[in-house]
Amino acid sequence: MTPETFAEIVADAALSPTVHNVQPTLWRRIDAGTVAVLQAGGRTLPVGDPTGRDVAASHGSAVEGFLVAASARGLGFAVGDGEAGEIARLRSSGPVAPDLLAAVLRTRRTWRGAFASTAPEGALEALAAAAPDLTLLSGAEDIAFIAGRNDAASLKGFRDPAFRAELLAWMRLSRRNPLWSVDGLNAEAMWMSGIEALGAGVVLRPGVFELLDRIGMAGALTGEAAVVRSAAAVALFHRPVDEAPFDTGRRWHRVWLEMTRLGLSAAPMTVLADDPEAQAALAARFGRPAGARLVTVFRLGAPTGDLPAPARRSIDDLIV
């Protein structure tokens, strides 16, 4: 693997989904067959992810993206433990055939807008067959239940001023923000108009949110139930309770790529897994596989517009 090929693979791996699009992964080419995976400074979420589980899953997602991108170039790598200060080490394992999911690695996007009324024919059935760790729900009542629980859990999170401040720090609400196309959650990716983005910046401010909450308006302004209800289906993503977050992240990315391969777009509603009350309500209604935990819930379907351009860090910023 030449330095040029390494840079190409990293560019593709950088398109992997990460929590809040913080992109915490750095890469170092040790030699032609060895890559070190590292943690970027300042790219954690101490409030929203105090245990670091979501950031660890994000590293796993990025590494899976690297493996898929490398396979498209006939290169195989094995994932092993990292040395001191490293997340992991990837070592050459010889030539491989391209991964089936390599074809959609560059086209996967988060879709936070409304969905079309129907999904591509046969896509949900094919996804259920390909991903047994997903519980697919397509009934209107079930989707509405998920939508309500998502809004309630989100509102609870927004009531924490520290959480709101951390979220705002990763939101890019104006194109004038120099980080608009670099990282975080920009207004286009969140499917916000300019007016909505301006309003979000006001609503989430200290004091303003509390006032709106007291008069019962905060939930209406932060909720997204209508968008969730437009989904063709929601998918509960469960993984073994004792699985390492890094490995969960690898699988999370592959499931999302499988959705993309089948013509589906998706957005995760991870607050449903993070909030104990929401998690218990979903388990009571839909069940939970033995020995598994809920990782996230996807809303999915066919998008009603163009997918947003990815906001990503430069290659020079990712390779150290």
The Cα–Cα gap between 26 and 87 comes to 10
Report pLDDT for 203: 93
- Phi, psi (deg, nearest 5) at residue 92: -55, 135
CB-count burial class (<10 Å; 0-12, 13-18, 19+) for 194: exposed
For the chain (320 residues), the mean pLDDT of every run of 10, in chain order, is 97 98 98 97 96 97 98 98 96 97 97 93 96 96 98 96 96 96 96 92 94 94 94 98 98 98 97 96 96 97 94 97
Instruction: Count Cβ atoms below 10 Å from residue 61 Cβ, excluding itself.
Output: 25
Q: What is the pTM of this model?
A: 0.95
What size, in residues, is the chain?
A: 320
pLDDT the model gives residue 296: 98
Structure confidence at residue 155 (pLDDT) = 96
pLDDT given for residue 144 in this prediction = 98
Is 20 exposed, middle or buried (CB count within 10 Å of its CB: 0-12, 13-18, 19+)?
Answer: buried
Q: Name the DSSP letter for residue 72.
A: T
Helices (H), the chain: 3-13, 53-71, 123-130, 140-158, 161-170, 194-203, 208-214, 218-222, 225-229, 245-261, 271-274, 276-286, 315-318
CB 247 within 8 A of CB 123: no
| Amino acid (one-letter) located at 290 | A
What is the pLDDT, as a whole number, of residue 154? 96
Decide if 72 contacts 105 (C-beta within 8 A): yes
For 39-52, what is each residue's pLDDT tens digit? 999 999 999 999 99
Is the alpha carbon torsion for 157, 162, 166, 172 positive or negative?
positive
Looking at residue 117, what is its pLDDT?
85
pLDDT of residue 111: 96
Q: 230, 114 in Cβ contact below 8 A?
A: yes
- Between CA 209 and CA 200 the distance in angstroms is 10
